[in-house]
Amino acid sequence: MKTKPLRVALLGFGTVGGSVARILVERPDLADRLHLTHIFNRGVSRKRADWVPSSVVWTDSIDELFASKPDAVVEVVGGLEPAGAWVRRALEQGSAVVTANKMLLAAHAPELLHLAATRGTQLRFEAAVAGGVPLIHGVREGLAGDRLLRVSGILNGTCNYILSRMAASDEAMAGVLADAQRLGYAEADPSADVDGHDAGAKLVVLAGIAFRRHLRLEDIPRQTIRTISAADFRYARRLGCTIRQIAMVETDGPDFHAFVGPALVLRGSHFGLNKGANNVVTIAGHYGGENSFSGAGAGGPATAVAVVSDLLSLTQRTHERGEEWPAGRIAPPPPRPYYLRFVVQDRPGILSSIAAALANQGINLDAVLQEPGYPKDALPFVITVEACEEPALRAALQDIARSDFHAEPPLALPMLVGDDPKG
């Protein structure tokens, strides 16, 4: 079947937008399916590139772009506004939208999907999660036959770079973070990465894909990685583990359990073995068991592959049914084992006091670890506890925090080390 090529307008000519244009220019085999007509950018005269064919219209007028009635609009501007207004305007006028904008989707996916469905057009976003890893196609189509139970992953390359380097070198967080900023892996303000906002937004998108439910980013418990110390990696190793920022959502039917933050994972698991800025995602299904996907989570060319793949998928499907994401409810997590790390001014009676507070909440100790070589006035030691309810653990930790022997606030990390959930 011979059809006319899709007329594509590009909103944004930064790293990703430039790479999208480059693929379209460098792959003449795509010319009968995709035809780049417009490139929009603020101050577009600065941006103009001589390798783009002269037939492409460069503009800094959003109205000119929309007046051309593109078949598909690629939004790689990022941020909530004005990107959100432009995506809505495109869908309103019946243009399909391909976006890499995880923040926009995390906040407004249900509304945008509904808008696309009512206008008989499509909203695609393979690039919004795990950059070039073809997760969405793999999960939404390749695993459509399964009943999915859990999606978990390393979705933030900056945190993984920091934590995997700390694991390898025993350096402190501050120095590694400063290096990551110098090398361009971390922003000047690293909050969105290290405090879990970025991974949380990606998790909202992933949960939508896997479960067709929208979880509110505000409802997803997020824990910073800033509190992780070199001592934590030493203790984690004693437990056959390492520490990674994990984003996870699982379901037991009506409710969803979600978490973003540092967790202990087995050193030999997919998560424990993942180094540097790579992303890895594991999907568990009732029938098919576990599948893992890994690859470059960011970068212009890898992300642009996802955008172009989405554009190509638009040329193949004219009768795809619209997708809706009704709200999903987040419930407290199921019982889990936890790693508890205390840093204390050492004196007799501390362990028995902590043990009593845990026992008061019905929480069983699993192991007590104390490595040599630390100063008496800031002595880190670790207690692991058997699977327990999180509210009981919080209550015990509040109780423990009232004591005056702490040199630092206690740290609690989930241990994702069982058969279920594992990495």
Spatial separation of the C-alpha atoms in residues 332 and 280, rounded to whole Å: 25
Q: Does 78 participate in binding a copy of itself (rule CB under 8 A)?
A: no
Q: With CA atoms as reference, report the closest residue to 329 among 255, 218, 252.
A: 255
In whole angstroms, how close is the CB of 226 to a copy of itself at the nearest point? 29
* Residue 48: how many other CB atoms lie within 10 Å: 12
In whole angstroms, how close is the CB of 209 to a copy of itself at the nearest point? 12
Q: Does 255 participate in binding a copy of itself (rule CB under 8 A)?
A: no
- From first CA to last CA, the distance across the chain in angstroms is 44
Q: Does 141 participate in binding a copy of itself (rule CB under 8 A)?
A: yes
CA distances from 366 to 183, 208, 351, 385, 397 (A): 40, 36, 14, 5, 16
In whole angstroms, how close is the CB of 49 to a copy of itself at the nearest point? 17
Q: Does 182 participate in binding a copy of itself (rule CB under 8 A)?
A: no
Bond from prior residue into 421 cis (ω within 30 degrees of 0): yes
Spatial separation of the C-alpha atoms in residues 399 and 28, rounded to whole Å: 66
Using CB under 8 A, which of the segments 244-252, 283-291, 380-388, 397-405 binds a copy of itself?
283-291
* Torsion, Cα of 382, 387, 392, 394 (10° steps): 40
Q: Does 313 participate in binding a copy of itself (rule CB under 8 A)?
A: yes
Q: Does 99 participate in binding a copy of itself (rule CB under 8 A)?
A: no
Among 201, 304, 344, 363, binds a copy of itself (CB under 8 A): 304
Q: Does 28 participate in binding a copy of itself (rule CB under 8 A)?
A: no
Q: Which of residues 119-138 bind a copy of itself (CB under 8 A)?
A: 126, 132-138
In whole angstroms, how close is the CB of 124 to a copy of itself at the nearest point? 11
Type of residue found at 313? S
- The 30-69 contact track toward a copy of itself, x by CB under 8 A, reads ----------------------------------------
Number of residues that bind a copy of itself (CB under 8 A): 53
In whole angstroms, how close is the CB of 279 to a copy of itself at the nearest point? 10
223 or 269: CB nearest a copy of itself: 269
Q: Does 11 participate in binding a copy of itself (rule CB under 8 A)?
A: no
CA distances from 361 to 138, 235, 343, 396, 415 (A): 43, 25, 22, 6, 19
- The 185-224 contact track toward a copy of itself, x by CB under 8 A, reads ----------------------------------------
**Is residue 202 among the annotated active site residues?**
yes
In whole angstroms, how close is the CB of 130 to a copy of itself at the nearest point? 10
In whole angstroms, how close is the CB of 205 to a copy of itself at the nearest point? 15
222 or 244: CB nearest a copy of itself: 244
Burial class (CB in 10 A: 0-12, 13-18, 19+), 290: middle
In whole angstroms, how close is the CB of 123 to a copy of itself at the nearest point? 15
Q: Does 302 participate in binding a copy of itself (rule CB under 8 A)?
A: yes
Among 52, 76, 112, 139, binds a copy of itself (CB under 8 A): 139
Q: Does 292 participate in binding a copy of itself (rule CB under 8 A)?
A: yes
Q: Does 145 participate in binding a copy of itself (rule CB under 8 A)?
A: yes
Which of 202, 275, 376, 422 is an active site residue? 202
Using CB under 8 A, which of the segments 39-47, 200-208, 288-296, 411-419 binds a copy of itself?
288-296
Type of residue found at 366? D
Q: Which of residues 315-334 bind a copy of itself (CB under 8 A)?
A: 316-321
Among 246, 296, 354, 357, binds a copy of itself (CB under 8 A): 296
Among 9, 91, 207, 305, binds a copy of itself (CB under 8 A): 305
List interacting residues with a copy of itself (CB under 8 A). Answer: 1, 19, 23, 27, 126, 132-139, 141-147, 268, 270, 273, 285, 287-296, 299, 301-302, 304-313, 316-321
Q: Could you list the active site residues?
A: 202
